[in-house]
Amino acid sequence: MRTYDKDLYKELAKNLQTQLKPVLNPIESEINGTVTGELKSRRNAGLFNHSGRTQWGGVNVKAKTSIQPKNLIFIEGKGRGSGSLDGALGFEYAELAGIRRRPPRSMSKGWGSTSTGYHSYVQNGQGDGFIRMLGKYGKPGRFLWKRVLKRKPEIESKVVDIAESLNVKINRRNS
């Protein structure tokens, strides 16, 4: 579609953003309102209420067009805040914490420095404590993914409507 008709592809991307905004905005608001308040509370202040790349700054949720043949769209959540170009990673860490493909390391990956030697530190279960703290929110995918799944029928319905309207335009141009 991108090579066939660039204007139609742009229209698809624009329609997805506008049509899915009423569905995705409440998800974003819920995460940024309720969850952010809880996570930045005094009890959890050491985990998320700090300056830096791993702070919790909330989330921005967007629907984007996909050029994959099987998927027309993908929904993406990115952390916001911290003044860095990529935003804060607190959301991404909290959303996926607990997905493990292998047991945790006993020592961190090492790194070189301007000082002498090769540096690393002992892992003392910080990640396990973080996962336990997030346990009340559920399993990985605990913030964005579970909310998107609840609204999946509504999202699919809107995407089908958009695709059908564009299909009519494609057929008119080919006639």
pLDDT in tens, 148-171: 999 999 999 998 898 888 776 666
Please give the residue range of the domain that contains residue 142: 20-107+119-150
Whether residue 161 is contained in a domain is answered as no
Measured CA distances, 47 to 43, 54, 56, 127, 133 (Å): 9, 9, 9, 11, 9
Tens of pLDDT along 54-104? 777 788 888 887 766 677 788 988 887 655 545 578 888 889 989 988 887
Q: How far apart are CA 54 and CA 57, in angstroms?
A: 9
Total Cβ atoms within 10 A of residue 25: 11
What secondary structure letter does DSSP report for 140?
Answer: S
Q: How many residues does the chain have?
A: 175
Under 8 Å between Cβ of 42 and 49:
no
Whether residue 11 is contained in a domain is answered as no
